[in-house]
Amino acid sequence: MGRNGRSASAVVASAAALAGFAGGVAAQSDGCSGNQAGLSTAGVGGSRSPGWTPPGRTGRLLLKAKTVPGWIEEGLPVGEAEVRHAAALERLNGLVEREIDGVGLMVVRVPAGVDEASYESYVRETGDYEVVSPDWYVMPQGEPNDPLFYQQWHLRRIGAPWAWQFTVGNPGAVLAMVDTGIDPTHPDLSSRLVPGYNAVRRLPQSAGGEVHDLNGHGTATAGVAAASGNNGEGSVGVGWEIPVMPIRASNSPGGGAFMSDIIDGAVWAVLHGARVVNVSYAGVGSTAVDSIGRWCLDRGALMVWPIDNSGSDYSSFDWRSVVVVSGTDREDRLAGFSSYGLAVDIAAPAVSVFGPTRGGSYGWMTGTSYAAPIVSGAAALAWTMDPRLSAAQVMAALVAGARPIGDERHFGAGLVNVSETIRLASKVDFNRDGFIDIFDFFAFHEEFERSSPETDINNDGFIDFFDMDMFVLLFEGVPL
């Protein structure tokens, strides 16, 4: 209660300052161009609608060349300013599709055969343009265009849609699924997979280790965490651009696995770049789980494991190295089958969780096995907000961001809250004290004026108003 109280009061205390700061952002942006404020918001995915859909690239950029007076203001002699301005326009010869009257913006086609992101970086690095932004194609609807998304009640319950305006995952936060394998042909998973490992045969996929799913369990857990989103079909995961590493710990159609194979698979995953390791098996009470959890933490990775489905009281252990997850129903009650006890760190939906199934299908799944990958997906998204975070810091963001829903022995810190988790993991918690408050606000503002690398909130390598816009949105949090 102390944490929530402090956070809320801090936001209230800083409301006036924040309003002034946000207004300053808009005023400065508008000073650049009549449309700049809108571009800044789109550039960070800054719609305040909780169901905002990330934009897609179109092969075009919006550019505004620096003017001669602008160069002179920066200290260049008149002649040199004219040369720089002319060079900026000449560089785009034959690529300008049209100009947007009144604001000086040009719609520029990316040259044929050139990667759009690379070209954007090249143009930006010339320093000759005031505005460099993708010509985003934005969706009018508030949520992903996957036709079965409406079935996924659990994603709204955990606050995922609001978080998606800031991150849906990136290649740097790999999630390993130690399970029964994954169906590599499933349309909502095939594009998410990175090379994996068969822990039973001790053989990497690249050397012939089989990772396809013999049982169906692994496909379902992977889909809950990271099914592709906004692709016009199927369902969506907690983070739909999270890379998934399939670690098959079972060669049995029944799905049973030895703990030793599970641990071997987890070790291989971490040594090959996984930041989050999800194990949706029973056995969390084994001391080996604590041991491998500590090993993962020491190497910058986080292990997530469900409490089991036996309905037991597990109060004889409390691993500090592993995120242990209990299961809830649609009313935020403990699921009737979920175990509980001091071991539980956090809770997540585990009843009628909708997602991909083996063979290209979809269905509802029930069990704590499906609660764990929801938390794992949240952890992977947290790392995309600040890749420098330690595993312990990501764990702390999960716990601190959880929404209290009752008895700690049932729910730990509460129901996982993706929105709060990614806020606390972001650089908006500027002083890294576990709270987002007025101290972060003033510290960020001061460092932003100095163009400090620490104020690169969106991690794009540039300090600009995109970062300021993103800071304001994250600072304000989920609209009430």
Token pair of 294 as six digits: 């500590």
Q: Among 179, 183, 290, 456, which one carries the catalytic annotation?
A: 179
| CB neighbours of residue 127 within 10 Å | 10
What is the C-alpha to C-alpha distance for residues 24 and 466, in angstroms, rounded to an integer? 14
Exposed/middle/buried for residue 334 (C-beta within 10 Å: 0-12, 13-18, 19+): buried
Instruction: Please indicate whether residue 179 is annotated as part of the active site.
Output: yes
Q: Among 7, 133, 369, 426, which one carries the catalytic annotation?
A: 369
Q: Where are the beta strands (DSSP E) in 50-125?
A: 60-65, 96-100, 105-109
What is the C-alpha to C-alpha distance for residues 163 and 49, in angstroms, rounded to an integer? 11
- Tell me the helices (H) and strands (E) count for the chain, helix number first: 17, 14
Closest CA to 155 of 382, 416, 336: 416
Please answer whether residues 230 and 240 qualify as being in contact, where contact means their C-beta atoms are separated by less than 8 angstroms: yes
Instruction: Please indicate whether residue 217 is annotated as part of the active site.
Output: yes
Could you give the 3-state DSSP secondary structure of residue 124? helix
Q: Among 85, 186, 212, 217, which one carries the catalytic annotation?
A: 217
Instruction: Identify the H or E element spanning 324.
Output: strand 322-328
Scan for tokens 């810091």, then name that residue.
393
Instruction: Please indicate whether residue 410 is annotated as part of the active site.
Output: no
Token pair of 354 as six digits: 């909708």
- Strand-pair category, 244-248 with 197-198: parallel
- Strand-pair category, 174-179 with 197-198: unpaired
Please answer whether residues 249 and 265 qualify as being in contact, where contact means their C-beta atoms are separated by less than 8 angstroms: yes
Token pair of 472 as six digits: 């304001």
Token pair of 349 as six digits: 């939906």
Report CA 249 to chain centroid distance, whole Å.
Answer: 26
The catalytic residue positions are: 179, 217, 369
